[in-house]
Structure formats: structure tokens, C-alpha cells
Amino acid sequence: MKRTTHATITTVLFDLDGTLVDSMPDLAYCSNQSLSELGRPMLSEERLSTFVGKGLERLIIRFLADDIEATSADPALFQQAKAIFKRHYHASNGDRSVLYPQVREGLDRLKAMGLSLGIVTNKPMEFTTPLVEKKGILPYFDVLVGGDTCEHKKPHPQPLLYAMEQLQSDSHHTVFVGDSLNDSAAAAAAAIPCLMLPYGYNEGQAITPPVHGAVVDDLVAVAQWVERQNALSETN
């Protein structure tokens, strides 16, 4: 879809883990509790952070193998590990997680502009809503899309397209904010610009500027980018 040079942004969609919330301490805790109960060596939080990004099931497969390239596991072992992980995560989701600096300030600024805001994450909804609520940012958002809301997860564009549909927006008036190649790939597939944050989880890879969008420091910088974009649209 061809983009208008300076279209007015009315909708901002966000990834969750590594973008709004540093949830790695909780994810690492639950991963290591799972490994411990299975009699396996625990892994460092830094190592586990490279396994995050493609959903809960892929995280479990990766930490069982201690291999970012792993795509499958013994079915019985996987189900056992998944049950242990979910038990611990239901009990502790959000306990160790914190909002990144400038998140609340950036969200305040975007809401003051009258924009529609949404979250599009690969985290299952059973963990997404409680985490967003526990961190006190649920009222900012008009839609939450989890990893099990649609048939496909990011980097497939379907979750972003679904969120835009729910918010009655389209690719000309939407921007996606994320921290990983999954996010920039999903945005590109959905034909929307992507603003990348440098502080999150990117499966151990360096952040590269998206073709359509920019790398920005934090959510206040996101709001400033939208303000500039919309000021340009008014002069067209």
C-alpha cells in the first residue's frame, strides 16, 4: 500500500515486553524455576533475554535446549515445562517487572493528543492483561492484542491489521513502536512505519533502523516524532 508522504497519525500501537515493560526479571525467574524443577541447570537472565520475542512457547523450547535456534522439543517435556512455567508466571506476573523510563510520560503526551493507543504483543492474553493492569497503564489503551488473539503472531502482520481494524484506523494513519526485528518485520508487512527503541529484547541482535520509521530513545521521543509528523501533515 502506497503511503501518503505526511499523513496524520491517529493511532499508535505498541509492543509490550522490551518496549513498555522490562518483564525480563519475571520471565527469567519463571524460566529458571521451570529448569530447576526439571533438574536442569539454570541460565543467566542475559542469556534468557535472547530467547524472548517469538512468544511463550518458543521461549520454553529455547530455554529447554539452551539454544536460540531451537524450534521444537520433546512433546512430553515441553508440556511439563509449559505447565510449570505458567504456574509460576500466574503467581508472579509483574512482581519483578518495571515500566521503562519515560513510558508513562510518553503515554500521557500521546493521549493528550487525542490518539488511539493499542498493544500488540506475542504474549498470551492470560498474561498480557494482568501485567498491563498491574503496571497501572491499562487505562491508556483502547485495544490489547495478544499472541493468541489472532491465528498468527508477529512478525506476521495479522495482529497489527486486527488492531487497526478494531480501532477503525488504517496503515496511512498508524505507527507501530517496538524493540525487535519481529516488530519491524510485522510493521513492514502491515505497511506501517515502525519506531524502534534501543533498550529492549532483540534476540541478541543489534537494533537496525527500519526502512520506514526511525530509532528513538524512549516514549517521549515517540510522542515528539508523532507531533512532528502531524505538524507536517497540516502543511500539506
Question: pLDDT at position 51, please?
Answer: 95
Q: Which three cell numbers stand for residue 234?
A: 497540516
Domain residue limits, the chain: 11-20+100-235, 24-92
DSSP β-bridge partners for residue 21 = 17, 99
How far from the centroid of its chain's Cα atoms is residue 42's Cα? 25
C-alpha separations of 122 from 154, 189, 202 in Å: 7, 16, 14
Q: What gap in Å lies between CA 195 and CA 190, rounded to an integer?
A: 14
Over the Cα atoms of the chain, what is R_g? 18
Does 15 participate in catalysis according to the annotation? Answer: yes
CATH class of 11-20+100-235: alpha beta
Q: Is the pLDDT of residue 4 over 50?
A: no
Region 183-200: mean pLDDT is 96
Q: What gap in Å lies between CA 71 and CA 146, rounded to an integer?
A: 21
Is position 148 annotated in a ligand binding site?
Answer: no
CATH code that applies to domain 24-92: 1.10.150
> How open is the CA angle 22-68-44, to the nearest 5 degrees?
50
pTM value is 0.93
Q: Is the pLDDT of residue 134 over 80?
A: yes
Question: pLDDT at position 11, please?
Answer: 99
Of 15, 22, 26, 183, catalytic: 15
Mean pLDDT of the chain: 95
Q: Is the pLDDT of residue 13 over 70?
A: yes
Is position 26 annotated in a ligand binding site?
Answer: no
Q: Is the pLDDT of residue 5 over 80?
A: no
Domains 11-20+100-235 and 24-92 fall in the same CATH topology: no
Residues in the chain: 236
Question: pLDDT at position 205, please?
Answer: 83
Q: Is the pLDDT of residue 2 over 50?
A: no
Region 19-26: mean pLDDT is 97
Region 120-136: mean pLDDT is 97
Number of Cβ atoms within 10 Å of the Cβ of 33: 18
Q: Is the pLDDT of residue 202 over 90?
A: no
- pLDDT (tens digit per residue) in 65-100: 999 999 999 999 999 999 999 999 999 999 999 999
Question: pLDDT at position 236, please?
Answer: 64
